[in-house]
Amino acid sequence: MSRNLTAIFLMSVLMLVSGGIANAGIADERVTAEVILDGMTHFEADQGLKDYKAGILEITEETSRPGVVQVEKEIYFMAPNVLLTMVNGEPKSYSDDKSFQVFLSMMDLERKDDEEIRGEACFVVVATPRDPALKKYTKTYYVAKSDFRKIRIVSVRSEMSIQFVTYIIDFNYNDFADGGKKYSLVKSSEAVAHDGDGVELLTQTNLFRDYEFNIGLTQKFFDKILEDYKTYFTEGS
């Protein structure tokens, strides 16, 4: 988590303990939606990672079309939360703390009841657009209570020919070694998209491989790549 939100959370817990309240459920309720998303977006940096580079093989299969489409991508991460995705040497998306805060400024956040996803106890946060015309286009985050890694994200979007498409993305993790250190990072993600009637539109798998850690990335590296690409900001995770 960022230092400010971490400090606020720890102070809340300490106040509960010093006041003689030992009820874990009450302490758990003090973990707000903002704290949960802050922990999620800084999960990599909170492990001590400075930066990394990785390759991704994206495999997409649409139900309305025969065959499979494969795309090779590269991602570059720099702490605390800079992430650039490249395809064929050109930026596909870019996100950082600033762009994520801009996204959140347009949303109302609500923490829902905890749920278990694939055996993992998860916080649940729903982001709903403040624009009344867009309120159905929600984004729901399922975040591991144990360490704040993202387990599932469910997004409702609008496509060119379909008003409501729901994407369910599940994230799978593995431990990756770098010298004497180990980092828990995404090894694959699996997405399924459905239309408003529940009809499956596509499946997509991303395979993460060839992680290279602490390679010395700087903001100048990202600025140079993005100097002619000012529209590649995304909300991130």
Look up the CATH number of the domain holding residue 195.
2.50.20.10
Q: Identify the DSSP state of 130.
A: S
- Number of Cβ within 10 Å of residue 143's Cβ equals 28
17 inside domain: no
71 inside domain: yes
Residues 6+ apart with CB under 8 A from 89: none
Q: Which pairing describes strands 82-87 and 90-95: parallel, antiparallel, or unpaired?
A: antiparallel
Q: Which domain holds residue 49?
A: 31-226
203 inside domain: yes
Nearest 5 degrees, angle CA 56-CA 169-CA 28? 120
pLDDT of residue 234: 64
Provide the domain count of the chain: 1
Tell me if residue 27 falls in helix, strand or coil.
helix
- Comparing 32-41, 54-63, 148-157, 158-167, which segment has the lowest mean pLDDT? 158-167
7 inside domain: no
Which pair of tokens denotes residue 217?
A: 């990335």
73 inside domain: yes
212 inside domain: yes
Tens of pLDDT, residues 67-126? 999 999 999 999 999 999 999 999 999 999 999 999 999 999 999 999 999 999 999 999
237 inside domain: no
Which pair of tokens denotes residue 170?
A: 């599940």
8 inside domain: no
The structure's pTM equals 0.86
